[in-house]
């Protein structure tokens, strides 16, 4: 299981943080689970309802996340799903999204929650989507990580 060894991270009372979630539209069932987990994590942290922006696919995540990071959000969460197919397309999309989101975080100083599932098949994605019967809830984890990092960075001020 990919979640083995993960730390227990929780944050509370972050009502002054502005959080945004950017979610791709491909793989609707999986994305519904990821978005639900992300919104639940934000509520649990006390940030209130985050801004939710939908984009066509995972490749479009970095540009949307960058726009929100530049608009003063304290944390932005990227949610998407890329399922391996029979062509190199999977590798190009995964590499581009990962590098793009990393670049946004480093250049803006805004934590970016990485909730992009890169799976061999749809069953793996469903198992990580936070749906009933899923082993993991990556939308919740990505949001909690981004908010916790925002809190940690704020403590440096």
Out of 10, 89, 95, 152, the active site residue is: 89
83 in a known ligand binding site: yes
Name the pairing type of β-strands 75-83 and 19-24.
Answer: parallel
86 in a known ligand binding site: yes
d(CA 126, CA 118): 12
58 in a known ligand binding site: yes
82 in a known ligand binding site: yes
Determine the 3-state secondary structure of 126 from DSSP.
helix
What angle, 0 to 180 degrees and rounded to 10, lies between the N-to-C axes of helices 138-154 and 28-45?
40
Active site residue 89: yes
HSE-CB for 9 with a 13 A CA cutoff: 19
Q: C-alpha angle with apex 31: 27 to 33, nearest 5 degrees?
A: 130
Contact in structure between 119 and 2 (CB atoms under 8 Å):
no
Paired tokens of 98: 């990962």
59 in a known ligand binding site: yes
87 in a known ligand binding site: yes
CB atoms within 10 A of CB 23: 23
26 in a known ligand binding site: yes
Active site residue ranges: 89
Per the annotation, where are the binding residues? 26, 58-60, 81-83, 86-87, 114, 128
Per the annotation, where are the binding residues for (2S)-2-hydroxy-3-oxobutyl phosphate? 86-87, 128
Per the annotation, where are the binding residues for 5-amino-6-(D-ribitylamino)uracil? 26, 58-60, 81-83, 114
């Amino acid at each position: 299981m990919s979640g083995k060894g993960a730390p227990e991270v929780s944050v509370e009372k972050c009502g002054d943080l502005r959080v945004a979630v950017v979610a791709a539209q491909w793989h609707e069932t999986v994305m519904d689970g990821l978005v639900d987990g992300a919104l639940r994590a934000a509520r649990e942290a006390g940030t209130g309802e985050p801004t939710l922006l939908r984009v066509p696919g995972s490749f479009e995540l970095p540009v949307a996340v960058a726009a929100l990071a530049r608009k003063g959000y304290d944390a932005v969460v990227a949610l998407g799903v890329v399922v391996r197919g029979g062509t190199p397309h999977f590798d190009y999309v995964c590499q581009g999204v990962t590098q793009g989101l990393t670049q946004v975080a480093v250049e803006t100083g805004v934590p970016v929650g990485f909730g992009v599932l890169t799976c061999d098949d749809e069953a793996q994605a469903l198992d990580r989507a936070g749906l009933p019967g899923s082993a993991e809830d990556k939308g919740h984890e990505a949001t909690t990580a981004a908010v916790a990092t925002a809190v940690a960075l704020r403590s440096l001020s």
